[in-house]
Chains A and B, each alone.
Chain A
């Protein structure tokens, strides 16, 4: 589904990714964990072409997308729930969801929005509320719902549990699991919440200073002492 090869990304003179290699197969849930500043968000944005990889290549379903403009990458079935959610603050919940459906077939719109409202009933109650006035958890639900509206084949999620209460975190992870199972969406999940992420994921990668340091199945990584000390300190959740 997704092949990332030797990708190096720069912000001006600062190099954020130093030759990253990873794969996500169709139907998998793959997670990427790493400390603050490791380059996780940079990798997700590089997959979407903004910023662009300076060297290396990114292939989606066998096609090279390294040099495509962002909106064309999205058109090929990639959706992102970005860091900080990036809800349009002066648009209603409904309009935010409409924005998600830009690249989708308009004939699916009604069905898809009902599906999102069924998954996140709180959004249905707040359909006309402005995005900027939603709570953090509601914004996260909206960001995920908005991404689903495009009917992506590959969903990129950047720290969807950040700043949310444990109960909401559990709901969000449940929703991600459902999306993978029921909608057959391939998922690439960036998380600091390593425990939840590794339990949900088929496989995981660990990013350290812009390089992939470790990879393995979710279970292997959870059992790895290095991971336990670096990313699971302080217990679960």
Chain B
């Protein structure tokens, strides 16, 4: 029981990070029907910007962990959002309206470019950093096993829940979110009502990148070490989360993230940590075969 609870806590933390990345995949797919394969790299960029941010905070002598985290999150969200915007502008928008595979190929190109760029700029060796929140407390002890919750885990889950709630509200209840959903459902009609479609698509990339930046910052703090390649695995897992939840669905991405966190952690905890990634990919394959619309995917039957 204690062991189980411990795994559950770890899984929720990891699932929060995947969920934040998955939102970017699902929103972009929802609006332009494209899998942004460079999104994992956007997350990686977010982690590196956070790493630099924490170093600068340390240099400036900002002692408080909370202040440092808030500053780093804001800076990472801003700069990563600029990356997201620039990628859409330069690599995808010019290809809009050409054949369907073109932006996908372009995305893979962007992904390789960003990996190489970070490898050159930051070096290939893993970089440690982001150790700002230490400690935790024992939740309870049983069977000679301490169930521990770290303060960092609480920070990660709280920040994620707040961001997801805020973001869901933005999409469901603000004019901006309504325009975003309108573009998703009928882009041409949205433009006939005065929506600036190009701007709305840009904003979707910007929002997805900002959330990925938060995930990057938390990944850095959680593992304490990053390299230029982290975007690949985390990206595929978050993509799996988006597909599992139902690509295009916002609650689906959050649920999918949580489930992927659970599957990965419990697989590693009860079977073998060597095959935990394989377990996740097996899920991806199974979902694609048996339920391509995912758990919360939109039903296709709709009278229009």
Name the B residues within 8 Å of A91 (CB-CB): 178, 181-182, 185
Say whether B191 faces chain A, with CB atoms less than 8 Å apart.
yes
Asked if B189 and A90 make an inter-chain contact with CB atoms under 8 angstroms apart, the answer reads no
Asked if A99 and B190 make an inter-chain contact with CB atoms under 8 angstroms apart, the answer reads yes
Name the A residues within 8 Å of B193 (CB-CB): 74, 79, 99-100, 102-103, 146, 150
Closest partner residue, chain A, to B196 (CB atom) = A71
Asked if A88 and B182 make an inter-chain contact with CB atoms under 8 angstroms apart, the answer reads yes
Name the B residues within 8 Å of A82 (CB-CB): 189, 192
Please report the C-alpha to C-alpha distance between residue A150 and residue B150 in the assembled complex, in whole angstroms.
Answer: 53
Asked if A89 and B191 make an inter-chain contact with CB atoms under 8 angstroms apart, the answer reads no
Q: How far is the CB of A159 from chain B (nearest CB, A)?
A: 16
Number of interface residues of B (CB under 8 A): 21
Name the A residues within 8 Å of B178 (CB-CB): 91, 95, 98-99
Q: Which residues of chain A in 73-113 are interfacial with respect to chain B, using CB atoms and an 8 Å cutoff?
A: 74-75, 79-80, 82, 84, 86-91, 95, 98-100, 102-103
Say whether B186 faces chain A, with CB atoms less than 8 Å apart.
yes
User: Which residue of the partner chain, among A79, A89, A98, contacts B302 with CB atoms under 8 Å?
Assistant: A89
Say whether A132 faces chain B, with CB atoms less than 8 Å apart.
yes
Tell which of B190, B192, B194, B298 has the most Cβ of chain A within 10 Å. B192
Name the A residues within 8 Å of B302 (CB-CB): 89-90, 132
Asked if A103 and B194 make an inter-chain contact with CB atoms under 8 angstroms apart, the answer reads yes
Q: How far is the CB of A175 from chain B (nearest CB, A)?
A: 19
Asked if A71 and B191 make an inter-chain contact with CB atoms under 8 angstroms apart, the answer reads yes
Name the B residues within 8 Å of A55 (CB-CB): none
Q: How far is the CB of A92 from chain B (nearest CB, A)?
A: 11
Say whether B142 faces chain A, with CB atoms less than 8 Å apart.
no
Residues of A within 8 A of B (CB): 48, 50, 69-71, 74-75, 79-80, 82, 84, 86-91, 95, 98-100, 102-103, 132-133, 146, 150
Residues of B within 8 A of A (CB): 175, 178-179, 181-182, 185-186, 188-197, 298, 302-304
List 12 extra interface pairs beyond A84-B304, A88-B181, CB under 8 A: A69-B191, A71-B191, A74-B192, A86-B189, A86-B304, A88-B182, A88-B186, A90-B302, A95-B178, A99-B178, A99-B190, A102-B195
